[in-house]
Every structure is written in C-alpha cells, then in structure tokens.
Structure 1
Amino acid sequence: MPTSSAAGLPAADDRRDSPALRDWTDVIFFAGLALLPVDGTRFGFAMPYWTPISPMLFLVYTLLNACLHPRITSRTVRRFIPFIGFAGLLVMISIFDWPTVGIRPRQAGVTAVAVATGLSTLLALDIARNGKHLNVRTMVTTLIAAYSAAFVVGVIQFANQLDHLNIQAIHRFFFNVIERPYFAVRPQFLFAEPSYIGVHLFGILMPSYWLTRDKRLPWLILGFAGGAIAMQSGRRIIIDTVVCMVIWFVATFRFQRTKRSIAATIGAGATAITAAVAAFTLQPQLRAIAAQGAMSGDFSTSSRMFLTLAPMLAGMHDPVHWLFGFGAGNLADAIRRGFPYAAEYYESRGVALNSEIRLLANPPADTFTMSFFTTFVAEFGLVALAVLFALIVAWVTRNHAWNRHTVCWLVLLAYLYCQFEAYAFAAFWLFIWAVGTDNERSLGTESQIHGRHDSLPQNHGTELLKSQY
C-alpha cells in the first residue's frame, strides 16, 4: 500500500486518522452530500421532474480540484475514461439525430448538464476518497444528518396537512420552497415528489451500508421507510420497501443447507408475500390496480404507462430513430409522434384517455416520462442502451466484481430507474465507483471506519463487491 498520494497529500493508510477536510474545496463536497435529499426545491437546477442541488456542487468540486490537484483529478479521469467516452458517444448520436428531427437548445442543454453532472458525481466521489482520503465516517454521518433532517421536514408536513394542524404560515413557507407541492395531502419531505423516497433510501443509503457496514444506516432506512408508510406518503414507497428488502436479503444472507438457513429463507419469503398481499389489499390505489389493471385502475399509473408507450411506439414506426433515438432534448418530439399509436392502443382495450394523457397530443418541450429507460431510448436509441449495458458488464468483469452481491445491486438499480429518469442521480454513479474501486483500501475495515482498533488481518473487511459467497 502506498505511503503517499500522487499529489503529495499525506497518506491515510490508517482510516481512523483520515481527515474530514484536506482543503477548503472539501466543504463543497460535504455540502453536496448534505444536500442529496434536497432535490425538489426552487433553489436547484431544473432537470426532468426534479431540481437537485448536489450534482452542481459535485461539478464545481471536480473543476476546482482539477485546478488545485491536477494529478489527483487526472488519475481519477483515467480510471473512469470509459464512461467519459460514453458521454462523447451520446453527443455524436445527437449530432446525427438533430438534423432529422430538429434541436431544442434549452432541453438539449438540460440533458447535457444532467450527463455532465452525473459524471462529476462519480469523479467527485473518487477524488474525495481515493485521491484525498477524506474520512468515511464523516461522510456517513453527513448523510445520516441530511436524511434525518429531511425526515423531520416530512413529519412537519404531515402534522400540518389540511386535515391536521393546517397552519397557513407553514403552508406558505413550503409553497415558496417546494417546486411541485404535494405536501398539503401527503408528505414529500424535501424530494421532488413522494415517489422518490425509495430511490433515495434504497439507491443511496442501502448501498452505503453495504460498503461501510455502518450500523446507523439500517435504522435510518427502516425508520424513514416505516415513517413514510405510516404517514401515507404514497404507494410507491410500500412497493419499493417490499421489493428492496427482498433484494437486501438475497444479497446479504449466506444461504446454507442448514435448518436455520432454510427456515430463515422460508420466513423471509413468507414475510415478503404477506407484505405484498397486505399492500394490495389495504392500499386503495394498489387495490384498484389489482382489480382493474394498471391502465385503468389508477390515474397516475395510466399516465406514466402512456408516457412510456408513446415514445416506444414512435420508435417502432421509425426504425432508424428507434435504434439511434431522436436526439438529446427531443423527448417531446418522440412522445408527440407516438401519441396516435399509443392512443389507439389504449382505446382498442377500452381504456379512456384521462385529461393528463390528452395533453400529450402536443406535449410541452420540458416533458418527462419518469423512467430512465424510456427517456434514454427516446433520446439516444436502443444502440446506445445496448452499449451502456455492455459497458457495465465489461466494467464489472474488468474489475473482477461478479458475484451475488453485484448482481443484486444491478437488479436494484434496474428496478429503481424504471420509474426514475434522472441521469445525474447518485445511485448509478455510486455503483460504478464501488465496482471500480478497491473498497478495502478506500474505505478500510469496519472497525477502522468506526475508529476502533482491531486485530484482524489487513485484507479482512468490507471488500464486499469482490468477495466470494
């Protein structure tokens, strides 16, 4: 293990002595961590159906360190050059698409910023940990404090709902702060909408626990999820909790042919099935979906399915653009072209077009789909999606990280991003960083993270992604 960094910063082989800050720019990094749950306010950068602040801070952090610590930054860039090159491929695809479809400069710029800030999130994390060796426990503590504060905000919103305290001054405050207000009828915490609760808890906090084994994180995750369900924040958090707890169990449980192991597996399966049945029985919207189908049972679900169906059918009737997309920023064009086909599909099945769907005949330029896969294929095509999948497989293979844990993490991401389209969201980039990093050298053993001595061998600990089950 090296004794000093390439930039001459002190080594941090003993993670107990890792500093919280190396220089003033690290304040920006920790501000980015602290503001991860703040993605629905009027103060963030407007991207498709969220307004995050953290990605912009990570971009600033990366650029500042490129100036102040060029050797650290260049080493990080070289490590993740395949993903930077992939961003270049997206630009070339769009240059091919724009002459045939047209270009919407503002929307294309938003897509470019989303991709750039997503990459910056990846680079910032690597600079902070592998370049400057900032303290892991301080990072986790920052996350816990940030999400705990967001939960408190949700409790205040719940207590002040229309059928509870209904204090107008509090309503006015949140109306001035939140970009898309849902809080009057259900808590949205500081998220763009209540359905984003699960992508934060299970996309960021749960993998953070896998990587650090900080025992504070499971309590936060379960408490936040349980509180959100109790305060009736929506059906998505119910489904997310059941699905992600099953993934957590499969990823972490050591399956053995013993009575205890078999009993635990059966018990976990029975619990998941019971929870799913209870959710679809007790939750009115889920009960309606189960009885009438997704297209007819719920207004919001019907609209989201239409938003996915329209651009896909547009591509099927235009094979070139299905393969190579309609270009960055041209999602609205794909939806408009696919509207007649999707409307015909709905009507042929006796499903009425609701008021939200009818507006999609001429969608606004800043429309959205709430699905990463739909938006990505509409903008960049099936070829780009296939290249992305191949790149992920090659990345995991190159870093010798194939195991049950990695597969479960990929399944988790695929599930979460089906209903979340944000290119800049940290969950995907955290996975890429973790796979490409020697997590034991970067994070230290569990006892080192918690500031305790241990007598374990140096190579024992949290290298979860590269361990064998």
Structure 2
Amino acid sequence: MKEKFGLKKLLAMRFFKTLAHPATDFLFFLAAATLPFENLFFAPSSGWATVTPLILFLYAILNLHYLRPHLPLIKKIFLFFLGFSILGTLTMFFFHGRFDDYIAAFVPLTLGFTCLLSFLEFYTKQGSKFKQKLNLLTSIIIASYLISLLIGLAEYFALKYNLPGISDALGFLFKRNYLAKNRVQFFFTEPSFIGMHLFGILLPLFLLTKRHALLFLIVLYSYSAILFGAGVRIILDIFLIAIILSFYYLRKVKDKLFIPLGIVAIILFITSVSAVNGRFHKIFFGFLNSPEISLDCELEENQNTEECLALLRKSGINSDGSFASRVFRIKSTVFGYAKSPIGFLTGYGLGNSIHPARLGHAQAKKDYKSSYMKEVNDLANPEYHDDSISYCLYTRIISEFGIFALLLGLFFLYNLARKSTLDYKYHYLLILLYLYLQFESLSFYAIWLFIAIMYLSSSKRELNA
C-alpha cells in the first residue's frame, strides 16, 4: 500500500531542500545582529519600527525543509490561529470593524508565527553543531546590544551637554525620535521597549547558555537605562523580575541571610532609583511633598476642582502622562467589555480592538485626572484608528478573539512549561506573562522564543545548549 502523500513528504522534496541552502543561515545571523536596531527610518511600521521579523520571515520560508520534525507542534498553533481568525473575521463584520485594520492584523500574526518557524528550523538545521552555532549567535547578539548601549550613552551626553550634531544625526536615522522629548531611547522604537529586550531576549539566552557576558550586559544596560532616565517601565521591570528570579535562586541558596539581605537590596534599589529618576519619584513618592489643602479630595464632588487636580497630578498614576494614558487605555477597554459582554466572549473582530476601548471611553475618562489628553482625545475620535490600542497583549487577544482564546493560549504556554525539563521553566513563564502586561505585539520574539525553548527542552527532546 502506498504511503499517503502529506506535508512532511512535500517538505522533503528536492525543491525545498535546495531552497534551504547552508548560505541562508546568513539571514538568521543578520536578524540577530539587527535585534536592538529596531528604529530605523526605513522600517515599514512606526508602531514597532523593526526589520528583524521580515528577515526571519524570509529565513523561515527558505528553510521549510527543516520543519518536518516539528509539524505536530506547528499544526496545533496554526489551527489555533486559523480557528480564531475565522471567528475574528465573522465578529469583525458583526461589530463593524474597519477592513484595513482587519487586513493589517494578519501581519503580526504571520510574522510572529514565522519567527517561531525560523527558531525551530535553525535548531534542526544545525544538528550536532547547534551548540557551536548558538555560541556564535550569542556573541553577535552581545556585540549588537553593546553597540546600541554606546549609542544610548551618546544620546545621554547629547541631551545633557546640548550637542545638536549627535541629536540631529540620530534623529535622521530614527523612525520615532524621543530625543526631541529629552528622553534616551538607545536604538529602540520607544524607551519602554527596553525591558522586552533585556528580559524577553537576553535573559532567556543567559539562562540557556550561561554566558556571563550576557548577565553583565543585562546589568550594565539596566543601570544605564535608569541613570539615563530612559523611562519608568524599565525600573518596574527590573524590580518585579528580580523578585521572580530571587525565588528561583532562593532554592539554591541555603544561607538564611539571603532573605534579609534581599530585602535590604530592594530598599536600597528603590531609594537610589527614586533619587536619580524624577518620573519614578513623582509617581510613587510624590505624595511625600504634598501641600496642605482645604478640600477633601476623596469626595467625588471635589475631585475636579483645581486644588484637587493639582494634588492628584503631583503623585500617582496621573502625575505622569505616559503612564496615565496607558492605564486609561486598559481601563477603557475593560469598561467596554462590561458594556458589551457578548464581545468579551467572542471578541469584537480581528483588528477591531479599538471597539471596546471606545465603548468604555466615557466611563474611564471620569477617573482620568492627568493633564496629558492627546491619547485620550484620540480614542474618542471616530476617524482615529491604531493597531496598538491598550498596549496589553491580554486585552488585545480578548478584544479580537474573545476570552476563550486567551484561556486556551495561557493553558498552551503552561502545558509547554510543564513538559520542559528546565528547572527555571515556571519562573521564565511568569517573567514572560508579566512582560506582555505592557506590550501587545504578537510579532515580538519573546513569546516565540519561550515556545521554542520549552518545546525543544521537553522530556522527549533535549535542547543541546
């Protein structure tokens, strides 16, 4: 009886084998080299201005031959996205989404999926040489991030000592220029993306390879980002991820002094950061310098008076426009779910995550006291549309595919971690879940790197690193 012709046999054909020439590995190494340089002026998107996923897409297409051992995993993920994309198409029409946003929503799904394919193909293609090639890949990544760190140092000096030549040269290269806002951004699209790179890419690579140069780079980058005043999110990232990692290393350290020393270290970290980062101090400790007021600002009728608004803007979420607007977007989306619970179950349509945000806009605006109104007003404008609405992957998945898609996705990630033989698997999962609380693009590498590492380190396979 003849063997049934399937996808595995198709990918084994000479055509696909010829495409997967060893020379195509250059593309994978090129992608690694471009990881931190995601803000180039010629990048196709301004939301996340990067060319790296496009390079990985090309590598994945050329090396489909090496996907054969991983087809069971690939089929599961493909069917998941296919099923919910069909649902998202139906709900997009039902909730009157924009067709251009619908088409655009397929881009991050496609680039993210092919990002995973490229990781699996590279692993299979290298065979017994994988460890050697991984070390080379890691060295390229270290060198690239060191260069971007030096660029950040140049930005810091340009802003501190008013050096327009450096600022203008970098501004010419950048797709989005935060130097004009007196903020160091290294070579990232936004300063808030720093943590995604440090803890979504470099940290997993360190845990996998144990290359101490990576750990040094993470610490140096973290310190520099805080010193340069690059943003508030990186401080929160460092603080929370350090706590998660401390539980991992606590099991390995029997010295009882570890806990009190850890508490002292946390206190010193918060104190020192508050001293050098004005935005952080204002959000979390601005209340310490609050003046005496004549009104009770806890009462609803007083909250919109000039006196109470001035007090609210001195500390807390409303004291920082960027932070406040992000929280506002998430709150308006959640309030929107309450107004249309059907969409919460089924999603509001692929590319239509703005729909629940608009539904809850008026209610969320009642609690918004920040003086920064641009993003709040933009969401109220019927002509405004954006593929980044809440800056949170969880609300984006719910908004486009429904709550069941999110629950299935989380269960899939947990199940992958459960089958892995790595002792830090659950800590890694917690870090990943935290990172995507403030990031929503499915084309970013962190989640696909997690899937690849967990899958390849399962009890049936052993990641040779």
1:186 positional shift:
2.0
Aligned pair 1:218/2:215, yes or no? yes
Report the CA distance between 1:201 and its aligned residue: 0.7
For residue 220 of structure 2, what is the amino acid of its counterpart? G
Q: Which amino acid aligns with 2:238?
A: T
Residue matched to 2:444: 425
Structure 1 residue identity aligned to 2:154: I
**Deviation digits for residues 228-281 of structure 1, max 9, x if unmatched?**
22222122222222222222332234345x4xx211232123212331244346
Distance in 2 separating the partners of 1:150 and 1:43: 18
2 CA distance for matches of 1:218 and 1:187? 22
In the alignment, what sits opposite 2:59?
61
The alpha carbon displacement at 1:207 in A equals 0.8
What is the percentage of aligned positions where both structures have the same residue? 25
Q: Aligned pair 1:382/2:403, yes or no?
A: yes
Aligned to 2:402, what secondary structure does the other structure show? helix
Structure 1 equivalent of residue 365 of structure 2:
343
Name the residue aligned to 1:173.
169
1:351 positional shift = 6.5
1:158 aligns with 2:156: yes
Q: Distance in 1 between matches of 2:275 and 2:155?
A: 27
Output one character per residue of 1:371-421: Cα deviation in whole Å (capped at 9) or x when no partner.
212222222221211111122223333x25485x22211111121111111
- TM-score, normalisation: structure 2: 0.82
- Post-superposition offset of 1:88: 1.2
The match for 1:90 among 63, 67, 84 is 84
Q: Is the CA contact (8 Å cut-off) linking 2:317 and 2:323 kept in structure 1?
A: yes
Alignment counterpart, residue 252 of structure 1, candidates 230, 249, 252:
249
Output the amino acid matched with 1:414: L
Retained in 2: the 8 A contact 1:62–1:73? no
**Aligned letter for 1:416?**
L
C-alpha separation in 2, matches of 1:435 and 1:199: 19
Query: Conserved in 2, the CA contact under 8 Å of 1:157 and 1:187?
Result: yes
Alignment of 1:47-446 (within 5 A): 49-66=47-64, 70=65, 72-133=66-127, 134=130, 135-161=133-159, 163-168=160-165, 170-184=166-180, 185-255=182-252, 258=254, 261-280=255-274, 283-290=277-284, 291=287, 292=312, 294-344=316-366, 346=367, 354-362=373-381, 364-366=384-386, 368=388, 369-397=390-418, 399-401=419-421, 405-438=424-457, 444=464
Displacement, 1:171?
2.8
Amino acid at match of 2:172: N
Where structure 2 has 5 or more consecutive residues not aligned to the other structure, the ranges are 1-10, 14-19, 288-311
Aligned-partner Cα distance in 1 for 2:161–2:236: 26
Tell me if the contact between 2:229 and 2:277 (Cα under 8 Å) persists in the aligned partners.
no
Q: In structure 1, what is the Cα distance between the partners aligned to 2:154 and 2:274?
A: 28
Question: How far apart, CA to CA, are the structure 2 residues paired with 1:40 and 1:275?
Answer: 30
| Per-residue deviation, residues 128-167 of structure 1 (Å, max 9, x unmatched) | 1133334111110111111111112111222222x41423
Distance across 2 between alignment mates of 1:367 and 1:127? 29
Q: How many residues align?
A: 413
CA distance in 2: counterparts of 1:306 and 1:245, whole angstroms: 27
What TM-score, normalized by structure 1, do the two folds share?
0.81
Give the Cα–Cα distance (whole angstroms) in 2 for the partners of residues 113 and 313 of structure 1.
Answer: 28
Q: 1:175 to 1:380 in 2, by over 3 A?
A: same
Q: Structure 1: which amino acid aligns with 2:376?
A: I
Residue 174 of structure 2 aligns to which amino acid in structure 1?
A: I
Residue type of the partner of 2:394? F
CA distance in 1, matches of 2:316, 2:433: 20
Can you give the 5+ residue segments of structure 1 that lack an aligned partner in the other structure? 1-5, 9-20, 446-469
The answer as to whether partners of 1:212 and 1:443 remain within 8 angstroms in 2 is no
Deviation at 1:102, TM superposition (A): 2.2
| 1:103-122 residue CA offsets vs partner (Å, 9 max, x unmatched) | 32332233211011111111
